[in-house]
Amino acid sequence: MAERNDFGAVLRAWRERLTPSAVGLVPHGRRRSPGLLREEVAQLAGVSADYVKRLEQGRGRPSASVLDALSRALRLSRDEYEYLCVLAGHAAGGAGFVPRQLGPGARRLLDRLGDLPVCVCDAAWTVIDWNLSWTAMGCSATEVALGRDRNMVWRFFVAPAPGVPPGNSTRTPERMRRFREQVVADLRAASLRYPADRELASMVADLAARSADFRALWETARPGRYYDDRVTIHHPVVGDFTVDCDILAIHDGDLRAVVFTPEPGSRDAQRLALARTALAMSPHHDGS
C-alpha cells in the first residue's frame, strides 16, 4: 500500500509542476494551480481522467504501456521514468531492451522545430512522440493507433493490408523500395542490439510470418545510411504537397527523428503552413 501511495504522490507532484504551455496546451478557465489538470494529463497519455485520479489515490497498478504514456505526457527524464517504474512495481527497461523514452535532446528537437513536421521513433521504429506540425499533416492514424499499429515497419508491411501504403502519404515506387530496405536493415540491427526485448522479437517473427516481402528484405538486409527521400502528403483540407524526408539519429536513447521539410517559398511550403492554420482553427483542436 505504501508503495502505491508513493506512486500516487509522485505522479501528482510531477503533474502539478508542469504547466500547460510546456506541453503545447492552451489553459482554459480558472485554475487552482498553474500545473496540469488530471484531464490534461489523461488527454496527453491517452487514458481517462478518472483513471489518473485513481492512480493518484493509490488505487490500481498501471501497466508498463501506461507508464510509458504517462512518462511522455509528463516529460520525465530517464531517471524519473525508472523511478516511477520502481514505485509502480515494474522493472524499467535496461540492457537488452529497446529504450522508449525521450531524452532532453529529443524533447528540445520536437519543441524547437515547431514549424516542421517531426515525429520520433524508438530503435524498433515505433512512434513515441510528435509535434503539432506532424499532427497538422493529417497523420492522425499513427497518433491514435495502439501497440504495433504505431510501428512504422509493421504498418509498411502488414497494416492496413499488405502492399497498401500506410497513412496519407505516398512515395514513388523506387523511393518506397529503398526506404523499406533501409528500415528493415535498421530493424535487424536493432534486434541484434536488444536481444532481450521479447516484444521486438515477437513483432519480427510475426512480420516474417505474414509478409514475404519482409522476409526477403530481412534475409538480405545490410546496414547502410539513409538516402535522400521525398514524400507526397495527401491532406484532406489543403490538398497534396511534397516534402523532403530526413532521418536523424538521436544517440541519447537510440532514437530516430523523421523530419519533413518543404522547399522554402514553394507552393508545398504554403500548403504546409495552411495545414497548420487549418489545425489551429479546427473546433476539435485544443492545442495538444
Most confidently predicted of 120-129, 153-162, 226-235 = 120-129
- For residue range 63-120, what is the model confidence (pLDDT) as tens digits? 887 888 898 888 887 778 878 887 887 766 555 688 888 877 888 888 888 889 999 9
Q: Is the pTM of this model over 0.85?
A: no
* pLDDT for position 201: 92
Confidence of residue 253 (pLDDT cuts 50, 70, 90): confident
* pLDDT for position 272: 93
Q: Is the pLDDT of residue 166 over 60?
A: no
From 103-107, 119-123, 164-168, 214-218, the region with the lowest mean pLDDT = 164-168
Buried/exposed code over 240-266 (b: 16+ C-beta within 10 A; e: otherwise): ebbbebebeebeebbbbbbbbbbeeee
Buried/exposed code over 72-87 (b: 16+ C-beta within 10 A; e: otherwise): bbbbbebeebbbbbeb
- Across residues 209-232, what is the average pLDDT? 86
- Across residues 231-243, what is the average pLDDT? 90
- Which residue is it, cell 497548420? 276
Q: Is the pLDDT of residue 259 over 90?
A: yes
* pLDDT for position 285: 53
* pLDDT for position 184: 93
Question: 265 near 133, Cβ under 8 Å?
Answer: no
Distance of alpha carbon 99 from its chain centroid, rounded?
A: 13
- Across residues 149-160, what is the average pLDDT? 85
Q: Is the pLDDT of residue 187 over 60?
A: yes
* pLDDT for position 142: 55
Confidence of residue 288 (pLDDT cuts 50, 70, 90): very low
Grid cell of 69 as nine digits = 504514456
- For residue range 45-78, what is the model confidence (pLDDT) as tens digits? 889 999 999 999 988 888 887 888 898 888 887 7
* pLDDT for position 93: 55
In 3D space, the residue among 103, 105, 63 whose CA is nearest the CA of residue 85 turns out to be 63
- Give the chain's mean pLDDT: 83
Q: Is the pLDDT of residue 255 over 60?
A: yes
Question: 91 near 198, Cβ under 8 Å?
Answer: no
Grid cell of 270 as nine digits = 504554403
- For residue range 117-153, what is the model confidence (pLDDT) as tens digits? 999 999 999 998 888 888 888 765 555 566 788 899 9
Find the largest Cα–Cα distance for the chain. 60
Contacts of 183 (CB under 8 A, 6+ apart): 125, 152, 153, 156
- For residue 173, with 0-12 CB atoms within 10 Å meaning exposed, 13-18 middle and 19 or more buried, which class applies? exposed
Q: With DSSP H G I counted as helix, E B as strand and the rest as coil, what are the percentages for the chain, rounded to 5?
A: 50, 15, 35
* pLDDT for position 69: 85
User: What distance in Å separates the CA atoms of residue 116 and residue 1, rounded to the nearest whole number?
Assistant: 46
* pLDDT for position 145: 61
* pLDDT for position 52: 94
